[in-house]
Amino acid sequence: MASRSHDTSRLDNTLAVIRSLRDKGPVARVDLGTLNGISSATVTSISADLLQQGLISERPPDMPRPNERGRPKTLIQLAPEAACVICIKLSINELQLVVGDYAGQITHSEHHSIDTLGLSQEALVTLLKDKTAAVCDLALTRHRRLAGICLAVQGVVSSHSGTLIWSPALSFRNAPLAALLEAHFDCPVLLENDANCIASVLATQPAYADHPNLVVIMLGYGIGMSVLIDGKPFLGANGSAAEFGHSKYQPGGALCACGKRGCIEAYISDYALYRQASEVIELPAGDSAHPSESQMQALTQLALQGQPEAQRIFAEAGRALGYGLGNLLTLFNPDLVLITGSGVRGYPAMHDAMQTAIDEALVPELVGSTRIASCPWDRDMTCLGGIAMTLQATDQQILAG
């Protein structure tokens, strides 16, 4: 209801400049002006402030002179050392810690194998504190300050309250992890869903930049989803992300890790595929309830190479996926659906059945113009997104000094 009390355009424009620099790398003042719809006089004024604060630096353009007349551009760029953020990615049996600089680039990354399901809440918090403190010490030798920490987890989180509601990687629920970490580090701690992190990265990529309403589906051990509306993650009432994996495919159907029956996840997640396959095919030994990357690789290979039982299982998964996407298109009507995650390796074996299921479920008028595509998977993407979100969230504080 209440609009802002006075002109906030200086702050808005300053943040816009910082974000342009982060997205595009070094840019000249004129270009920052046209990019953000402000005069270059204003950019001069803003960049003078930022230079004085040590948040940006000037540098000559890369190319010596590509044959153009006129005064050469002076590029300005974010000073990487001005701040850093730490992103902690928590997934099943693995912890990844990454340091990002003020420009959003990864400057350090480490992986730890952890029995996440065996941890109590206290043990997890202690572990996170210790690992983070060590990384923080390292990071502060190269950066002026720690701007924020992002905990990116698979599962359902309430970002507003910083509470982890449920994660397949953990055996406890409803943990106020952000507050517990904030108590030990003198900076904001964000708790984010991993799919939202990835979606935030994809949305900035030029290939998808013209699709402001974007849905990202992550296939893997669980099924993640993120919905971006006008480029911003859609969070429900309590700040928890939309949970595509637990929308229903078959009332009373297959058992899901969440305890209910018929969830889409119970048909297309790694554990669901492996569970079905291990009943009918000879597969590498291992914990079939938590199949490893190599176990899944083996199974996927069979399906892609035409093993009939495996093909059938992946086709059924494709049907469930298509059915769920049908509901998703009906309800959200996005421009683009991107399917990614480690499970995207099996997507070719699901594709045809998926498309058939969508065609069965929807009249063409309702499908609208939504494009469905897959997208290769990179294990650092989550942390890149977490870094981007954390910087975005803390830019104003960094600016304030």
Partner DNA sequence: ATATTTATTTTAGCGACTAAATTAAATGTC
Partner DNA sequence: GACATTTAATTTAGTCGCTAAAATAAATAT
Please identify, among the stretches 6-14, 113-121, 142-150, 280-288, the one whose residues bind its own copies according to the rule CB under 8 A.
Answer: 6-14
Beta bridge partners, 337, equal 215, 372
Q: Which helix (H) or strand (E) holds 78?
A: strand 75-78
Task: Work out what residue 126 binds among DNA, its own copies, none; the CB cut-off runs from 5 to 8 Å by kind.
Answer: none
CA distance readout (Å), 285 to 209, 272, 279, 313: 43, 16, 12, 19
Task: Work out what residue 236 binds among its own copies, DNA, none; the CB cut-off runs from 5 to 8 Å by kind.
Answer: its own copies
Q: Rounded to the nearest 10 degrees, what angle do helices 293-305 and 270-280 cross at?
A: 60
Please identify, among the stretches 42-50, 303-311, 312-320, 350-358, the one whose residues bind DNA according to the rule CB under 7 A.
Answer: 42-50
Q: Which helix (H) or strand (E) holds 9?
A: helix 9-24
Radius of gyration of the chain, Cα coordinates, nearest whole angstrom? 23
Task: Work out what residue 354 binds among its own copies, DNA, none; the CB cut-off runs from 5 to 8 Å by kind.
Answer: none
* Nearest-angstrom CA–CA distance, 190 and 278: 39
Dihedral sign computed on CA atoms, order 167, 215, 333, 393: positive
Interface with its own copies, residue 5, by CB under 8 A? yes
Interface with DNA, residue 69, by CB under 7 A? yes
Interface with its own copies, residue 171, by CB under 8 A? no
Contacts of 251 (CB under 8 A, 6+ apart): 261, 262
The pattern of x and - marking residues 229 through 268 that bind its own copies according to CB under 8 A reads: x----xxxxx-x-xxx-xxx-xx------xxx-x------
Interface with DNA, residue 396, by CB under 7 A? no
Contacts 24+ apart (CB under 8 A), 161-165: 161/238, 161/239, 162/189, 162/190, 162/191, 163/191, 164/191, 165/240
Toward DNA, which CB reaches closer, 76 or 128? 76
Binding site for its own copies (CB under 8 A): 1-7, 9, 12-13, 16, 20, 35-39, 156, 165-166, 173-174, 211, 213, 229, 234-238, 240, 242-244, 246-248, 250-251, 258-260, 262, 323, 326-328, 330-335, 360-363, 365-366, 368-370
Binding site for DNA (CB under 7 A): 5-7, 9-13, 28-31, 37-42, 44-48, 65, 67-75
